[in-house]
């Protein structure tokens, strides 16, 4: 086969693929963007799976709006956040980091990577869990009197929820089928440990 023909076939293949219904969201986003998206954007935009973005205020307007909720993000992350919202609207599910395996024990230092100081909130991917009854125990540090913890799945369904009130909290939920879920913690400036048992 000539190179030109091979190239033409590849392009044709790509075009056919592009016309198919949306493939599962590819793990394309950086950890920094995912943490921001889940802690600062998803709650307001949850339930919007209308298909396409309307660009109500144009791309420039959207950028201004994103900056408002991600004030210290760099341009690359702002772009990623835009794409994350577009993907969520199209697929009705949120992107979770595909490379994060379920982990039984997390130290404060490991958790720190998943903190968004702009939102004073945490997005902690729990990896693939189930089928099982899952028990998540979270220990906050100082200043978490008003904190709340919530476990959600990829479709943003809440699986468990509880206040932390400055103390350790245990969340239990059933994961009847294998599936990925994550923990959101709001209003907790520090977390010291997390355990996940199933
Ligand atoms: C307090 C609620 C709220 C928060 C937080 C929020 N948004 Fe929005 N956003 C809205 C509303 C309301 C609109 C206008 C209606 C719509 O298109 O959903 C909007 C519109 C947008 C649009 C334009 C959509 C379109 O169809 O043109 C983008 C892109 C967007 N938001 C991204 C984000 C990102 C990324 C974040 C996080 C950094 C974020 N938003 C945080 C409420 C919010």
pLDDT (tens place) for every residue of the chain, 198 residues total: 444 544 444 444 444 444 444 455 455 799 999 999 999 999 888 877 765 555 555 667 788 899 999 999 999 999 999 999 888 888 888 999 988 889 999 999 999 999 999 999 999 999 999 999 999 999 999 999 999 999 999 988 999 999 998 899 999 999 999 999 999 999 999 999 999 999
- Pull the structure tokens for residue 126: 């729990």
Distance 184 CA to ligand 1 centre (A): 19
Query: Is 190 in the same domain as 146?
Result: yes
Tokens of 131: 């089928």
**Is residue 55 in contact with ligand 1, taking CB distance under 6 Å?**
yes
* Helix ranges, the chain (H): 3-19, 31-36, 42-45, 58-69, 75-91, 108-112
Q: Among 32, 36, 40, 41, which is best to mutate for testing ligand 1, by the most ligand atoms less than 8 A from CB?
A: 41
Q: What is the CATH number of the domain that holds 168?
A: 2.60.120.380
Same domain, residue pair 114 and 89? no
Q: Would you call 92 helix, strand, or coil by DSSP?
A: coil
* pTM of the entire predicted model: 0.84
**Cα–Cα distances in angstroms (integers) from residue 90 to residues 25, 54, 80, 121, in the given order:** 10, 12, 15, 26
Q: Tell me what pLDDT residue 45 has.
A: 87
Verify that 119 and 162 share a domain, yes or no. yes
Q: What is the pLDDT of residue 11?
A: 43
In the chain, the number of structural domains is 2
In a domain, 34, yes or no: yes
Domain-located, residue 4: no
Of 66, 95, 124, the one marking the end of a domain is 95
How far apart, in whole angstroms, are the C-alpha atoms of residue 7 and residue 2? 9
Q: Which residues pair with 116 in a beta bridge?
A: 121
Q: Which two tokens stand for residue 27?
A: 């793990």
Ligand 1 close to Cβ of residue 62 (< 6 A)? yes
Q: 95 and 25 in contact (C-beta within 8 Å)?
A: yes
The pLDDT value recorded for residue 155 is: 87
The pLDDT of residue 5: 44
Tell me the best of 38, 45, 55, 87 to mutate to test the pocket of ligand 1, counting ligand atoms within 8 Å of each CB and taking the most.
45
Calpha distance 92→154 (Å, rounded): 9
Measured CA distances, 171 to 15, 111, 127, 138 (Å): 46, 17, 16, 8
Whole-number Å distance, alpha carbon 185 to ligand 1 midpoint, is 21
In a domain, 171, yes or no: yes
Residue 61: its pLDDT value, please?
75
Whether 53 lines ligand 1, by a CB cut-off of 6 Å, is yes
- Atom 22, ligand 1: residue with shortest CA distance: 62
Q: 75: domain range?
A: 28-95
Residue 60: count of CB within 10 angstroms of its CB: 9
- Please measure the distance between the N-terminal and C-terminal CA atoms of the chain and give it in whole angstroms: 53
Residue 10's pLDDT is 46
What's the confidence (pLDDT) of residue 88? 87
Paired with 178 in beta bridges are none
* Spatial separation of the C-alpha atoms in residues 72 and 64, rounded to whole Å: 13
């Amino acid at each position: 086969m000539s190179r030109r023909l091979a190239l033409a076939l590849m392009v044709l293949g790509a075009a056919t693929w592009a016309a198919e219904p949306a493939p599962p969201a590819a793990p394309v986003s950086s950890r920094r963007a995912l943490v921001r998206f889940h802690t600062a954007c998803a709650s307001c935009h949850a339930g919007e799976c209308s298909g396409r973005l309307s660009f109500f205020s144009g791309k420039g307007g959207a950028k201004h709006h994103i900056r408002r909720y991600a004030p210290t993000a760099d341009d690359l992350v702002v772009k990623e956040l835009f794409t994350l919202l577009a993907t969520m609207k199209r697929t009705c599910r949120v992107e979770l980091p595909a490379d994060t395996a379920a982990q039984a024990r997390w130290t404060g230092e490991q958790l720190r990577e998943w903190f968004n100081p702009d939102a004073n909130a945490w997005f902690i991917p729990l990896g693939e869990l189930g089928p099982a009854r899952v028990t998540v125990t979270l220990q906050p540090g100082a200043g978490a009197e008003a904190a709340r913890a919530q476990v959600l799945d990829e479709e943003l369904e809440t699986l468990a929820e509880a206040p932390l009130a400055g103390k350790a909290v245990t969340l239990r939920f059933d994961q009847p089928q294998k599936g990925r879920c994550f923990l959101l913690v709001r209003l907790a400036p520090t977390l010291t440990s997390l355990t996940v048992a199933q």
